[in-house]
Structure 1
């Protein structure tokens, strides 16, 4: 249901007026070595990837929606790998993983396994960024998209149990594609 929403609405979704989250991106990039290799999980319309490429980083963009990947390719002028999170098989290849508003679609029961794959894809001391819509129970939005809606405490416990270090979670008010006020959790951590 979630992937079909992005496939069916890819052009509209990619063309919306979305500015890259430059403050979060700059903090993420500042923690990486020069020309670092970055894996982007769920690149959406490609805006964040375009920003990271403009700063000289080696970015591998991915998305689970083939239609959204095509839209991102138009913006960034390079191929986007069509890949679901559970298909990630890289081992110690990336200096950083950027997952802005993408892992929030992973069912809670599957999240520990996906985080293990991400941890494996990172080099030692690699940097990981993810953002989630805050909540207390998983559910669907008005478009039928699934969200895991974690609390800050739930996320902290999950990442502690996964062996991550230097975990930082910021809670902020913002919005989303649905136009509704949204409580966001922005997480930064290291392998």
Structure 2
């Protein structure tokens, strides 16, 4: 199943400048936790980099970051911020094996259709090196749907998200934390933050 939703991608195409240019700070606290076990200069793939704020921060910390986004328009915006190429990549087209020490997926896999998500996580698992770190965040919920801006979200429960990660033996650890926050629509939102470490 494709992770491509034309209505969601259309939103980001039209709003790319405003979305990328808004006053959004990098996810410093989450990056701290994600990066704690990574070696200096570790190679990190960012999926759904949006405006590039998180890639910018991880580059500042000395990591070898590969920024990507599924929206060509957002990739262009991020490239302007970062001063480097940003690859256009849909989740299901990730096909690298043991290529990264970490995969960062802040607020992007939440757009993947529910049936497609386990397969996408399989691809991320394959792309990670042994003991690699994988961070992803999702808007919590009980049923898939669209927000007031027309974007598709999978709106998972914590249990559903844990199931999407597959067999526990594939991971050294998997932690899922819930907290309140907001997003581009400025609505109060329950967020799920997942951090997994691939088995050695």
State TM-score, norm by structure 2: 0.93
The residue number in structure 2 matching 1:40 is 46
Alignment partner, residue 129 of structure 1 = 135
2:150 paired residue number: 144
CA contact (8 A) 2:40 2:63 kept: yes
Partner of 2:188: 181
Per-residue Cα deviation, 1:52-75 (whole angstroms, up to 9, x for no partner): 000000000000000000110111
TM-score (norm 1): 0.98
Q: Which runs of 5+ in 2 are unaligned?
A: 1-6
Q: Deviations over 1:26-70 (max 9, x none)?
A: 111111111000000000000000000000000000000000001
The answer for the alignment partner of 1:156 in structure 2 is 162
Alignment of 1:90-129 (within 5 A): 90-129=96-135
- Structure 2 contact 12–71 (Cα < 8 Å) conserved: yes
User: What is the alpha-carbon distance in structure 2 between the residues aligned to residue 136 and residue 53 of structure 1?
Assistant: 36
* Equivalent residue number for residue 76 of structure 1: 82
Distance in 1 of aligned mates of 2:10 and 2:125: 28
Q: Secondary structure at the match of 2:165?
A: helix
